[in-house]
Structure 1
Amino acid sequence: MSALSELLAARSKLSDEQVAHLQRLVGEWQLLSDLAFADLLLWVPISIADGEAGSVPGFLCVAQCRPTTGPTAYQHDQVGARLHGERSVPLRTAYTEGRIFREVEPDWSGDLPIRREAIPIRHAGEVIAVLGKDANLASVRTPSQLELVYLQTAADLAAMVAEGTFPAADSGIEEGSGPRVGDGVMRLEPDGTIIYASPNALSAFTRLGVTGAVLSEPIDTLTSSVADDPFDASDLADAVAAAIDGGHPAAIEVEGGGATILFRAIPLRPRGEMLGALVLMQDVTELRRRDRQIMSKDATIREIHHRVKNNLQTVAALLRLQSRRVSVPEARVALEESMRRVASIALVHETLSSSIDEEVDFDEIVDRLLVMLSDVMGSSGRVTLARQGSFGDIPAEIATALVLVLTELVQNALEHAFPQGRSGRVDLTAVRRRGELVVRVIDDGVGLPADFDAESAERLGMQIVRTLVSAELNGTVAFEPGAQAGASAGTVATLTMPLGRRPRVGG
Structure 2
Amino acid sequence: MSTLADLLAAHTGLTDEQGGHLQRLVGEWQLLADLSFADLLLSVPDADDPHGGFLTVAQCRPNTSATVLPGDEVTHVADAQLAEALRTAMSRGAITVDRGTAPGGTEVRRELIPVRFEGEVIAVLTQAAADTGQRVPSPLERSYQASAADLCHMVADGAFPVVEGNESGLSTPRAGDGFVRVDVDGVVRYASPNALSAFHRMGFTSELSGVVLADVFADLVTDAFDAQDAAAMVALAASGPALEPTGEDRVLRMEVDARRATVLVRAVPLRPRGVATGAIVLVRDVTEVKRRDRALISKDATIREIHHRVKNNLQSVSALLRLQARRTANPDAQTALNEAVRRVASIALVHEFLSGSVDEEVDVDEVVHRLLPVLVDATSAGAPRADVAVTGRFGVLSADLAMPLVMVLTELIQNSVEHGFADGRQGRIEVHARRGLRDLAIRVDDNGAGIPEGFDPGSSGNLGLQIVRTLVEIDLGGTVAFTNAAAGGTSVDIAVPVTADLGK
Residue number in structure 1 paired with 2:404: 401
Which of residues 64, 68, 72 is equivalent to 2:67? 72
> Structure 1, unaligned stretches of length 5 or more?
50-54, 503-507
Residue number in structure 2 paired with 1:179: 173
| Contact 2:115-2:156 within 8 A present in 1 as well | yes
- State the Cα distance separating 1:315 from its structure 2 match: 5.1
Change (3 A) 1:89 1:455: farther
Which of residues 341, 347, 360 is equivalent to 2:349? 347
- State the Cα distance separating 1:38 from its structure 2 match: 0.8
Residue 53 of structure 2 corresponds to residue 58 of structure 1: yes
Moved more, 379-388 or 180-189: 379-388
Residue 76 of structure 2 corresponds to residue 81 of structure 1: yes
> Structure 2, unaligned stretches of length 5 or more?
none
| Contact 1:30-1:65 within 8 A present in 2 as well | yes
User: What whole-Å deviation, never above 9, does each CA across 1:90-126 have from its counterpart, x for those lacking one?
Assistant: 22323444332212x5648853221111222334444
Which of residues 265, 274, 277 is equivalent to 2:276? 274
Change (3 A) 1:259 1:388: same
**Hey, what's the Cα distance between the residues in 2 that align with 1:95 and 1:447?**
84
Residue number in structure 1 paired with 2:359: 357
Change (3 A) 1:238 1:492: farther
SS of residue matched to 1:83: coil
Residue number in structure 1 paired with 2:151: 157
| Contact 2:384-2:424 within 8 A present in 1 as well | no
| Contact 1:479-1:491 within 8 A present in 2 as well | yes
Residue number in structure 1 paired with 2:191: 197
- State the Cα distance separating 1:168 from its structure 2 match: 3.9
Change (3 A) 1:142 1:366: same
**Hey, what's the Cα distance between the residues in 1 that align with 2:53 and 2:157?**
23
Letter in 2 for 1:336: N
Residue 125 of structure 2 corresponds to residue 131 of structure 1: yes
| Contact 2:86-2:124 within 8 A present in 1 as well | yes
- State the Cα distance separating 1:474 from its structure 2 match: 5.1
Residue 45 of structure 2 corresponds to residue 36 of structure 1: no
TM-score by length of 2: 0.79
| Contact 2:190-2:209 within 8 A present in 1 as well | yes
- State the Cα distance separating 1:85 from its structure 2 match: 0.9
Residue number in structure 2 paired with 1:337: 339
Moved more, 283-292 or 451-460: 451-460
User: What whole-Å deviation, never above 9, does each CA across 1:13-72 have from its counterpart, x for those lacking one?
Assistant: 5555544433322221110011111111222333799xxxxx744333343222222232
Residue number in structure 1 paired with 2:46: 46
Residue number in structure 2 paired with 1:91: 86
**Hey, what's the Cα distance between the residues in 2 that align with 1:159 and 1:477?**
75
**Hey, what's the Cα distance between the residues in 2 that align with 1:364 and 1:385?**
15
Residue number in structure 2 paired with 1:22: 22
Change (3 A) 1:147 1:3: same
- State the Cα distance separating 1:277 from its structure 2 match: 2.6
Letter in 1 for 2:26: V
Change (3 A) 1:169 1:428: farther
- State the Cα distance separating 1:335 from its structure 2 match: 4.5
**Hey, what's the Cα distance between the residues in 1 that align with 2:490 and 2:15?**
57
Which of residues 299, 304, 314 is equivalent to 2:301? 299
- State the Cα distance separating 1:263 from its structure 2 match: 0.8
- State the Cα distance separating 1:354 from its structure 2 match: 2.6
**Hey, what's the Cα distance between the residues in 2 that align with 1:130 and 1:170?**
23
**Hey, what's the Cα distance between the residues in 2 that align with 1:335 and 1:315?**
11
Which of residues 198, 201, 210 is equivalent to 2:204? 210
SS of residue matched to 1:82: coil
User: What whole-Å deviation, never above 9, does each CA across 1:279-300 have from its counterpart, x for those lacking one?
Assistant: 1111111111111222232233
Residue number in structure 1 paired with 2:222: 228
**Hey, what's the Cα distance between the residues in 2 that align with 1:111 and 1:15?**
38
SS of residue matched to 2:137: coil
Change (3 A) 1:110 1:422: closer
TM-score by length of 1: 0.79
SS of residue matched to 1:116: strand
Change (3 A) 1:447 1:258: same
SS of residue matched to 1:165: coil
Residue 108 of structure 2 corresponds to residue 119 of structure 1: no
**Hey, what's the Cα distance between the residues in 2 that align with 1:123 and 1:276?**
23
- State the Cα distance separating 1:155 from its structure 2 match: 1.5
- State the Cα distance separating 1:278 from its structure 2 match: 1.9
SS of residue matched to 1:214: coil
- State the Cα distance separating 1:133 from its structure 2 match: 0.5
Change (3 A) 1:161 1:456: same
**Hey, what's the Cα distance between the residues in 2 that align with 1:500 and 1:268?**
52
Name the count of aligned residue pairs: 490
**Hey, what's the Cα distance between the residues in 1 that align with 2:137 and 2:304?**
56
**Hey, what's the Cα distance between the residues in 1 that align with 2:259 and 2:58?**
42
| Contact 1:308-1:346 within 8 A present in 2 as well | yes
| Contact 2:186-2:235 within 8 A present in 1 as well | yes
| Contact 1:27-1:173 within 8 A present in 2 as well | no
User: What whole-Å deviation, never above 9, does each CA across 1:277-327 have from its counterpart, x for those lacking one?
Assistant: 321111111111111222232233224433443554455456556666777
| Contact 1:26-1:175 within 8 A present in 2 as well | no
Change (3 A) 1:428 1:110: closer
Letter in 2 for 1:230: A
Change (3 A) 1:333 1:227: same
Superposition CA RMSD, Å? 4.2
- State the Cα distance separating 1:209 from its structure 2 match: 1.8
**Hey, what's the Cα distance between the residues in 1 that align with 2:342 and 2:216?**
64
SS of residue matched to 2:201: helix
**Hey, what's the Cα distance between the residues in 2 that align with 1:454 and 1:2?**
62
**Hey, what's the Cα distance between the residues in 2 that align with 1:88 and 1:272?**
29
**Hey, what's the Cα distance between the residues in 2 that align with 1:156 and 1:478?**
77
SS of residue matched to 1:225: helix
Which of residues 126, 151, 166 is equivalent to 2:160? 166
Identity of aligned residues (%): 49
